[in-house]
């Protein structure tokens, strides 16, 4: 249960960053900033989730 809650919190926090990147892409037509923001959100999401799964093996 703790694992599911932790993953949910990580994804919920990064959901805002992904929606901000989408807003930059569509509304502001700032594609470079949108790609950078999406990359930042992806890099902030993957390592914690990998560490959780590696530690649980």
Residue 33 domain-assigned (yes or no)? yes
Q: Is the pLDDT of residue 56 over 80?
A: no
Indicate the pTM of the whole model. Answer: 0.75
Q: Tell me the pLDDT tens digit for each residue of 33-51.
A: 999 999 999 998 889 888 8
Helix orientation angle between 2-26 and 31-56, rounded to the nearest 10 degrees: 170
In terms of Cβ atoms closer than 10 Å to its own Cβ (0-12, 13-18, 19+), residue 56 is exposed
> By residue range, what is the domain housing residue 42?
21-57
Judge whether 57 lies within some domain.
Answer: yes
In a domain, 53, yes or no: yes
Percent of the chain with pLDDT over 90: 54
Q: Is residue 3 part of a domain?
A: no
Instruction: Please count the structural domains in the chain.
Output: 1
Within 10 A of 45 (CB to CB), how many other CB atoms are there?
18
pLDDT, residue 57, reads 63
Name the residue among 51, 40, 46, 1 with its Cα closest to residue 18.
40
Let me know how long the chain is: 57
Average pLDDT, the chain: 90
In a domain, 42, yes or no: yes
Q: Is residue 9 part of a domain?
A: no
The pLDDT assigned to 24 comes to 96
């Amino acid at each position: 249960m703790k694992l599911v809650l932790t993953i949910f919190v990580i994804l919920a926090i990064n959901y805002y960053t992904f929606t901000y990147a989408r807003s930059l892409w569509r509304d502001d037509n700032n594609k470079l900033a949108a790609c950078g923001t999406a990359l930042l959100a992806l890099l902030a999401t993957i390592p914690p989730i990998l560490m959780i799964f590696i530690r649980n093996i």
